[in-house]
Amino acid sequence: MSLSFAKSGAIDQGVVITALKSAFTKLDPRQLTGNPVILATEVVAALATVSAVVAISAGQSASFPVQIAVWLWLTVLFANFAEAIAEGRGKAAADSLRATRVTTKAKLIIDASRNAMIPTPAHELVPGDVVLVEAGDVVPADGEIIEGVASVNEAAITGESAPVIRESGGDRSAVTGGTTVVSDWIKVRVTSQPGSSFLDRMIAMVEGADRRKTPNELALAVLLAGLTLVFLIAVVTLTGLGAFSGITLDPMVLGALFVTLIPTTIGGLLSAVGIAGMDRLLKVNVLATSGRAVEAAGDVDTLLLDKTGTITFGNRMAVEVVPAPGVRPDAAMRAALIASLADETPEGRSIVELARNQGITAEVPVGATSIPFSATTRQSGLDADGKSWRKGAVDAVLRSLDLSEGQVPAEMRQAVDRIARSGGTPLAVSENGALVGIIHLKDVVKPGVKDRFADLRRMGVRTVMITGDNPVTAAAIASEAGVDDFLAEATPEDKLRIIRTEQAKGRLVAMCGDGANDAPALAQADVGVAMQTGAQAAREAGNMVDLDSDPTKVLEIVEVGKQLLITRGALTTFSIANDVAKYFAILPALFVGSLPALGAMNIMGLSSPQSAILSAVIFNALVIVALIPLALRGVRYRAIGAAKLLSRNLTIYGIGGLIAPFVGIKLIDVIVAALKLA
């Protein structure tokens, strides 16, 4: 079981069928109280139905009122469908998660001294209980390992099938309910309340069960409700103004005008946009604990990034070997290679790699003994046939060679200085008791990181690198990676402090972390991304969890947040801009009977007043369906700076929103007229 379902973009048939059904159940007005625009549409649809029924029972021609009523209902249904289909994708994910809930009994330890256990259902476990989990058992609840070490398969949560090691003490002591112990055993102290485990929260999140309106959604809902009121006033007062002009207005037509004017497009798609945002996060394997956090991600001003793992690969790598005077470069390289052959550390392997890239190879000499690294010698290497190769900390190697500072060749001293200044680590290499060269180990910046930081800068996001390195090393990496600022020799307390300072300036801060000592900073940050492999405290403190435990993910999270806000703004702008054309369709149709001069306003040349009204209503309903894919997918985000982004989106959704309905309504009118529907 994995989250791979979330990675497939396609909407499968089952989801569509469920969504169609729930579009109808959502017609219940109680479910629409949070959406005044669609609720108003439903009220008008109901009134139109009544007047259609009245027309039929009075034996009048009812084709027009029936069609209007049908399309008004379809408008509501389309809006419901949009929401349902967004929810449906989450529900499918939730169902498969639910299947991993523990049904087997947990081994509850009731007397630690005698290892006495009683089988207990997982849902009866309370925080503080200690359970034994052995190979093959499913971890019954979230908890902290207090004893033992085991490899755990966390595929149920992360979709990653390779087991990870979990052990008591330190930052790897958290286990998640629903994961499986593959080997060995552990004793786990339960930390989660029944029903509020990580898995439960995850299910609730993807299902959207406790979906609350985010601050921005709330503001937008106020705006939409306000606009709905404005149009209610504009339409209702038309009765009096019309009466003065000798026009009796059909209430049904006024209702149709009202529905086409109120922002049904964004009103119908608003919650779908929000759910789809969470869904897009899920697709990159990030779980947000609230929609508010996703929104905040779009607003982030400052990104705190741990150097290791985010900006650099986390391991220093050899990039060059500087030969000692009189030593051929390939000989120096070769000595470094042999000294590293038995070294399985990433640094050692990187030296082997570097040599291979330069076409230099060597086999382990027969009968060689490897000299492992130790804290006292601070060097490692090989001894064979009376020959020896060593590499290690410069001062340690020099000491073992009995070389004083003054005896070291000037070129070598300069090389050491240069490497240290550039933020690298110099290692000395010796062969048979002679210094042959200096290895340059370097923190390697991940490819592409610099471009992404540049993108972020264009969008006004500052990046701050946090590292435990000394300021010289930190500055070198910072300039190579292109971050805006860095904090060297940082402690976890420094993170908290820097977040507070940034927030005091009114900035929103995002960070990611995994250690228990990151927890305060994760809680303080506006967007705190905890790694799934991290400590339980960190996962509790953050408002997002990255299931892949990839710190670079925070960049994608920011983009998803921005995309969410952009999509909302684009649909709102489009919705409002649409109204201009609707006036030109419906107003002449309303008034032309009594005031023929207003026929001049029918600039679209719509075939008849009834057709004009019907076409506007149909367009209004269909545009919701047409925009569902956009709402789910989101408007594409481009890091081109706010001004360019605005002018681009304003052109597409503002100007486009002005023009599109003129074309659309005209087309529908042609069809309506051809089919003799009105």
Partner 1 sequence: MDWRGWAEIVFTIALTVAVGWPLGIFMARVWAGERTWLDPVLKPVEALAYAAFGVDRSKGQNWLGYAAAALAFSAVGFVLLYLQLRFQNLLPLNPQGFDGLSPHLAFNTAVSFVSNTNWQSYAGEATMSNLSQMAGLTVHNFVSAGTGLAIAAAMARAFAADRGENLGNFWVDLTRTTLYVLLPLSIVTALVLVAAGVPQTLLANVEASTVEGAKQVISLFPTASQEAIKQWGTNGGGIFNVNSAHPFENPTPFTNLIEVVSLNALAFGTVIAFGRVAGARKEAKALIAVMVILVGVAAAAIYSAETLTPQPAMISAGISDAPSNMEGKEVRFGPAASSIWAAQTTGASNGSVNAMHGSFMPLGGGVAMFMIQLGEILPGGVGSGLYGMVVMALLAVFVAGLMVGRTPEYLGKKVEAREIKFAMLAVLILPLTILGFSSIAAVLPVALEGLLNKGPHGLSEILYAYSSAAGNNGSAFAGLTANAPWWDTTLGIAMLLGRFAYLVPVMAIAGAIAAKPKLQPTAGTLPSDSPLFVGLLIGIVLILGGLQFFPALALGPIVEHFQVLAAAR
Please identify which residue in 99, 234, 663, 671 interacts with partner 1, judged by CB under 8 A: 234
Please identify which residue in 78, 486, 591, 619 interacts with partner 1, judged by CB under 8 A: 591
Interaction between residue 600 and partner 1 (CB under 8 A)? yes
A 10 A CB-CB count for 114 gives: 8
CA distance 554 to 481: 16
CA distance 92 to 55: 44
Which pairs from 444-450 meet CB under 8 Å and 24+ separation? 444/312, 444/313, 444/316, 444/317, 444/319, 445/311, 445/312, 445/477, 445/480, 445/481, 446/311, 446/312, 446/313, 446/552, 449/311, 449/481, 449/482, 449/552, 450/480, 450/481, 450/482
Please identify which residue in 50, 116, 642, 663 interacts with partner 1, judged by CB under 8 A: 642
| 504 to 499, 501, 507, 509, 650: CA distances (angstroms) | 9, 5, 7, 11, 33
| 94 to 74, 102, 156, 212, 319: CA distances (angstroms) | 29, 15, 12, 18, 47
- State the nearest-atom distance from the C-beta of 577 to partner 1, in Å: 7
Q: Which of 129, 171, 200, 306 is catalytic?
A: 306
- State the nearest-atom distance from the C-beta of 411 to partner 1, in Å: 46
The piece of 34-42, 305-313, 537-545, 569-577 that touches partner 1 (CB under 8 A) is 569-577
Looking only at residues 252 through 291 of this chain, which bind partner 1 when binding is defined by CB under 8 A?
261
Strands 369-371 and 312-323: unpaired
CA distance 324 to 318: 17
CA distance 223 to 582: 20
Query: One symbol per residue from 172 to 211: x for binding partner 1 (CB under 8 A), - otherwise; what is it?
Result: ----------------------------------------
Interaction between residue 241 and partner 1 (CB under 8 A)? yes
CA distance 120 to 87: 35
443 tagged catalytic: no
Q: Confirm or deny that 376 is annotated as ligand binding.
A: yes
Q: Which two tokens stand for residue 189?
A: 């102290």
Interaction between residue 572 and partner 1 (CB under 8 A)? yes
Interaction between residue 570 and partner 1 (CB under 8 A)? yes
**End-to-end CA, the chain:** 55
Please identify which residue in 561, 609, 661, 664 interacts with partner 1, judged by CB under 8 A: 561
Q: Confirm or deny that 380 is annotated as ligand binding.
A: yes
Interaction between residue 450 and partner 1 (CB under 8 A)? no
The 3-state DSSP class for residue 330 equals helix
Q: Confirm or deny that 387 is annotated as ligand binding.
A: no
- State the nearest-atom distance from the C-beta of 297 to partner 1, in Å: 10
Please identify which residue in 104, 115, 245, 470 interacts with partner 1, judged by CB under 8 A: 245
What contacts 250, CB < 8 A, 6 or more positions away? none
Looking only at residues 601 through 630 of this chain, which bind partner 1 when binding is defined by CB under 8 A?
601
Interaction between residue 660 and partner 1 (CB under 8 A)? no
The piece of 86-94, 112-120, 276-284, 648-656 that touches partner 1 (CB under 8 A) is 648-656
Looking only at residues 503 through 542 of this chain, which bind partner 1 when binding is defined by CB under 8 A?
505-507
CA distance 360 to 353: 10
CA distance 286 to 555: 12
Please identify which residue in 52, 565, 581, 606 interacts with partner 1, judged by CB under 8 A: 565
Residue 380: φ, ψ to 5°:
-145, 170
Query: One symbol per residue from 478 to 507: x for binding partner 1 (CB under 8 A), - otherwise; what is it?
Result: ---------------------------xxx
Q: Confirm or deny that 378 is annotated as ligand binding.
A: yes
The piece of 37-45, 177-185, 223-231, 465-473 that touches partner 1 (CB under 8 A) is 223-231
Q: Confirm or deny that 142 is annotated as ligand binding.
A: no
Please identify which residue in 61, 195, 244, 402 interacts with partner 1, judged by CB under 8 A: 244
Strand locations in 222-338, DSSP E?
Answer: 286-288, 302-306, 312-323
- Alpha helix stretches (DSSP H) within 317-345: 329-340
The 3-state DSSP class for residue 314 equals strand
What contacts 94, CB < 8 A, 6 or more positions away? 203, 206, 207
Please identify which residue in 147, 167, 250, 301 interacts with partner 1, judged by CB under 8 A: 301
Please identify which residue in 465, 566, 623, 624 interacts with partner 1, judged by CB under 8 A: 566
Torsion of CA 79, 84, 86, 92, to 10 degrees: -170
Interaction between residue 454 and partner 1 (CB under 8 A)? no
Interaction between residue 646 and partner 1 (CB under 8 A)? yes
- State the nearest-atom distance from the C-beta of 271 to partner 1, in Å: 16
Q: Confirm or deny that 375 is annotated as ligand binding.
A: yes
Alpha carbon 238 to its chain's center: 48
Please identify which residue in 573, 611, 615, 620 interacts with partner 1, judged by CB under 8 A: 573
Complex with partner 1: residue 573 or 611, whichever CB lies closer? 573
Q: Confirm or deny that 28 is annotated as ligand binding.
A: no
> What does the chain come to in residues?
678
Number of amino acids touching partner 1 (CB under 8 A)? 75
- State the nearest-atom distance from the C-beta of 667 to partner 1, in Å: 23
- State the nearest-atom distance from the C-beta of 40 to partner 1, in Å: 15
The piece of 48-56, 122-130, 349-357, 451-459 that touches partner 1 (CB under 8 A) is 451-459
Binding residue positions for ATP: 343, 347, 373-380, 391
Would you name the residues annotated as active-site residues? Answer: 306
